[in-house]
Every structure is written in C-alpha cells, then in structure tokens.
Amino acid sequence: MTKQKKPIYVCQSCGYQAVKWLGRCPDCGEWNSMVEELVKSERKGKTASAMSQPQTIDAISLATEMRLKTGMVEFDRTLGGGVVPGSLVLIGGDPGIGKSTLILQVLNRLSQQSCRALYLSGEESPQQIKLRAERLSVHSEGLYIMTGTCIEDFFEKMAPIKPDIVAVDSIQTVYTNDMTSAPGSVGQVREVAARLMTFAKQSGVPIFLIGHVTKEGAIAGPKVLEHLVDTVLYFEGDKGHVFRILRSVKNRFGPTNEIGVFEMKDTGLEEVCNPSRIFLEERPQDAPGSIVIPCIEGTRPVLVEIQALVGPSPLGMPRRTAIGVDHNRISLLVAVLGKRIGMELGDQDIFVNVAGGLKVDEPAADLGIVSAMMSSFLNRPVDRNLVVFGEVGLAGEIRGVSQPDLRIREARKLGFSRCLLSRNNFEGANSPGDMELGGVESIQELYELLFK
Ligand code: TYD
Ligand code: MG
C-alpha cells in the first residue's frame, strides 16, 4: 500500500476519487463536486482481528435469528420482520419529512420492552428533543439522549450506558477527528458509517442512521453508504399531505420494496395498516375520469391516481392543462385518440391532474391518461379496482414498459384486483394468483375492454 500523504479529491455526489482536482466528475457528470480530503492517520491492521477462521459451510450453525420487534407493525414489516441484531439501517428522507419523529417513536417502543436505547442527535439540543418527546408522549426510563457530533466522543461516552440499540441523527452531522474534511462530506460520512458498522457487528447492537436526501433524490454521501449498510429505508411523502411512506430499497435481511405507511398527526406518526385506504378514501366514488396507475419512481413503485376532466370548450382555442404530467404527452394522446378510434377531442377543454401532487414523467402513464380522458369524455367511470399501465404509440399500439411485475405487485399490495397492461408485458408477467391480468394490444382494444 502506498503511503497517502497527498490529498485525494472525492466527488461529493457519487464518491468518485481522483488524484487531482477536476471541474467535472468523470463518473457522474456533476460539476464542481470534487472536494479535497485528507486522512490524518492510517488505520493499521484494525480489521485483521475481525477476520474469522475459515470453516466449511456445513460447520456453520444456523442460529435462530432473534429480531427485535418494535410493535409498530408497519415499521417491523418494512424491515422484514423486526430489527436484526448487529444490523446497520439507514433511514433516508427529505428534511422535515418526519425522520426524527419516526426514530424517536421507534426507540420509545423498544425501550419500553426493557431495551436500553440511545439516541444521538447532532442537530438538536436536548430541550428540542424533549419538546418533541412531550408531543409524542414519549416517557421512558430506558431511553437515553445524547447530543454532539464527534464520533470518538460518542464511543467514549456511550460505553458506560451499554445500549441495546442506537440511533444516529443524522449521519451527515457526525465527524471523525481522523479526517480533515468537513462533516457531511463523502469521506466523513463513509468513515463514520464504517466505524459504526464495525461497532454494530462486534457488539451485536443494531444501529439506525438517519440521512438527508439531496435534491437529486440520493442520500447525501450517497451510494457509498448504500452499499455499506445492511438495510436502506426511504421515508417519503408530500409535505402538504399527511401520509408518509417508509420503503425498503435494500435489505440484507428481508424483501425489498416493502412499504410501511404512516399518517403524520399532531401527536406523531400513526400507522396506516391498510394503505389502499389512502387512495380509496379520497378517491371519488365511481367518478368518470379517475384511474389509478402504478408507476416507478427511480427504483420505487408508487400508485397514483390520474384524473381527467374533458368537456366542451366555450373557447375558440380549447384549453389543455396538465398538472403532474407532460403537456405534450396530452396533445399526442389526444391526437392518437382522434385518429385511431375516432374520438375527437379537438373542441374539448382537457384538464389532467395527478392527485396528491406527484409528478409522473414516464411513458407507462400513457395508458392511465388515455383511460382517464376517455372515461371523462364518455362520462362513464371505470372499474375502481382496476389499474392500468403501458406506453401508447402513435399507431395506437400499446407498448410494454419496464418492471411490470413490480408494478403489479405494488397494485396488489395496495388492494387492487385487476390490471390492464400491454400484451407484451402480459405474456412475460408473473401473475400473483389473485390478480386478474389483461393484455391489450391497441387503444381500440382498451376502449372495448373498458367501455363496451
Ligand atoms: P421531523 O421528525 O423533525 O423531521 P426530520 O427529522 O425528517 O427533518 O418532523 C418535522 C415535521 O413533522 C414538522 O414539520 C412538524 C411535523 N410533526 C407533526 O406534524 N406532528 C408531530 O407530532 C411531530 C413531532 C412533528
Ligand atoms: Mg430531524
């Protein structure tokens, strides 16, 4: 190994390392993201002691996994059935979405089951935490609060408490003295997380890391953390709405894409045990122009309701308003409807809206938009247990989209029982028994299936 006296430059967006400063990261293409990082002292042989003796796979006994159950069903399920001892769990989300609230409630639940829980906050004072705890009615003998940002300090002061579970809020505020770069930089985040990882694996204490998400949607100091930790959960939702979704995007101990749904109330987060309620409750009963589509947000499937209102226009130049979907896509689909099935919407005002304030920019939404427009124009509702997805081509053909199984599973999870998709996707789809699938080849066929 070479002695590293020279600084290295690390991209704060993707973790790419270079020996000289670059204006643009060659890996992720981000501008001005390279930051100098210096490692003060090199770790020597620390990891060697953790190396196990080689043994045959048959010799390893299958210890029955003792998972810690928080008692919050949605949370436990997202983790794959509870907290695994010695695991490192990253919870990411936008600022203000409710991560601190969630973790405080989780620690409270655990500490009430004679667990000693330790909450390290690098962002808030003990008083601020107490204020939140009062609001959440958190009272527990076994819940310890620490504030500070130095990881060496933390390990020293934590030792006498001997916690059974630890949460660090947030990983971006904590730093190690061994590096000169600022807290929150890729190097710091990675180093601190690695130390916590070592501690978790050696002691068997599970650790939750809270991480902020950057504008681009990645956890700041991002991919570098995702591969290090055992489990990555995203806490997401629209701040204007009360619902929050906790989603596992990586899990070494359970399935991914598992979701837990919560409602943010005055007194904290409350579990929503039947998530389809979110969509069904606010969704108008059998209203024409409303349909639900499963779309993929990054790696995450999300169900959204598309609404359309189509009516005769009093104007010479009819209105086309699109909220949450691409305006040009609407024009294209209107043209396809006119040409392929003779449904002329040229003299109609058309409003398309994605309920809940979400933005959908993938072609898979086409089938939903078309269905909603037809439904509104004909003034006939579609089956409320139906979801549709697929891309619509200019010839009126329905094209396959990526990850049909993921979409179908998500729809099923949220209580839908029927799904229309492209013939292509239909043939490749792995249907979960109780979901009725229908493959459609053209917009004409869709029209007949929905309204004849
Ligand atoms: P917080 O947990 O501080 O978010 P994060 O740690 O992700 O930044 O939650 C912040 C928001 O949650 C804040 O806008 C207030 C709201 N909130 C409630 O609505 N009810 C509550 O009981 C609490 C504690 C917070
Ligand atoms: Mg917080």
Q: Give nearest CA residue, ligand 1 atom 16.
A: 98
Q: Is the CB of 266 under 6 A from ligand 1?
A: yes
d(CA 106, ligand 2 centre) in Å? 14
**pTM score above 0.85:** no
Coil, helix or strand at residue 45: coil
Q: Measured in angstroms, how far is the CA atom of residue 97 from the centroid of ligand 1?
A: 6
Range picked from 19-23, 57-61, 419-423, 430-434 for highest mean pLDDT: 419-423
**Cα 120 to ligand 2 centroid, rounded to whole Å:** 11
- Across-strand partners of 259? 247
Kindly state the helix (H) or strand (E) to which residue 425 belongs, with its residue range: helix 423-428
Q: Which of 169, 234, 263, 264 is the best mutation target for the ligand 1 pocket, counting ligand atoms within 8 Å of the beta carbon and taking the most?
A: 264
Q: How far is the CA of 84 from the centre of ligand 2 (A)?
A: 23
Architecture of domain 67-273 in this structure:
3-Layer(aba) Sandwich (3.40)
Identify which has the larger pLDDT, 314 or 53: 314
Residues ≥6 apart with Cβ < 8 Å to 316: none
Ligand nearest to the CA of 169: 2
Atom 2 of ligand 1, nearest CA residue: 98
Break the chain into its structural domains and give their ranges. Answer: 7-38, 67-273, 278-451
Q: Which atom of ligand 1 is nearest to the CA of 169?
A: 6
What is the per-residue pLDDT for 44?
47
| Cα–Cα nearest to 99, from 38, 172, 47, 156 | 172
Q: pLDDT digit string (tens) for 191-243?
A: 899 999 999 999 999 999 998 876 555 555 556 788 889 999 988 877 777 87
CA pair distance 425, 407, nearest whole angstrom: 11
What does each C-alpha distance from 48 to 84, 176, 285 come to in angstroms? 25, 21, 63
Which residue's C-alpha comes closest to atom 14 of ligand 1?
96
Closest ligand by atom to 132 CA: 1
- Rounded distance, CA 88 to CA 205, Å? 9
Closest C-alpha to ligand 1, atom 22: 268
244 in ligand 1 pocket by Cβ < 6 Å? Answer: no
Protein residue closest via CA to atom 13 of ligand 1: 96
**Residue that is written with structure tokens 């309204």 in the block:** 451
Task: Give strand pairing partners of 246.
Answer: 235, 260
Q: Whose CA is nearest to atom 10 of ligand 1?
A: 96
CATH topology assigned to domain 278-451: Ribosomal Protein S5; domain 2 (3.30.230)
Phi, psi of 37 (to 5 degrees): -135, 135
pLDDT of residue 300: 60
Query: If we measure between CA atoms, which residue out of 331, 303, 315 comes closest to residue 414?
Result: 303
Q: Name the token pair of 344.
A: 């002329």
> What's the pLDDT at 45?
45
Q: Does ligand 1 come within 6 angstroms of the Cβ of 98?
A: yes
Quick check: CB of 268 below 6 Å from ligand 1?
A: yes
Separation of 82 CA from ligand 1 center, angstroms?
23
Alpha helices in 310-379 (DSSP H): 327-341, 366-378
State the number of CA atoms in the 13 A half-sphere of 167 facing the CB.
26
**92 CA distance to ligand 1 centroid (A)?**
14
Chain-centroid distance of CA 391 in Å reads 24
Residues 6+ away with beta carbon under 8 Å from 322: 329, 330, 351, 352, 353
Nearest alpha carbon to residue 224 among 364, 399, 27, 23: 27
- 371 close to ligand 1 (CB < 6 Angstrom): no
**Whether the CB of 132 sits within 6 Å of ligand 1:** yes
For ligand 2, an ion, list residues with CB under 5 A. Answer: 100
Over residues 312-335, the mean pLDDT reads: 92
Nearest listed ligand to the Cα of residue 134: 1
Provide the residue type at 113 as one letter.
Q
Q: Choose among 274, 194, 196, 262: nearest CA to 234.
A: 262
Going by C-alpha positions, the residue among 185, 183, 166, 173 that lies closest to residue 110 is: 166
Q: Is 267's C-beta closer than 6 angstroms to any atom of ligand 1?
A: yes
pLDDT in tens, 237-296: 777 778 788 888 888 888 776 778 888 999 999 988 765 556 566 788 889 999 999 987
What pLDDT is recorded for position 121?
94
Quick one: which atom of ligand 1 is closest to the CA of 170? 6
What span, in angstroms and rounded, lies between the C-alpha atoms of 299 and 225? 17
> How many C-alpha atoms does 87 have within 13 Å on its Cβ side?
22
Pocket test residue of 101, 124, 242, 267 for ligand 1, highest count of atoms within 8 A of CB: 101
The least confident of 36-50, 194-208, 395-409 is 36-50
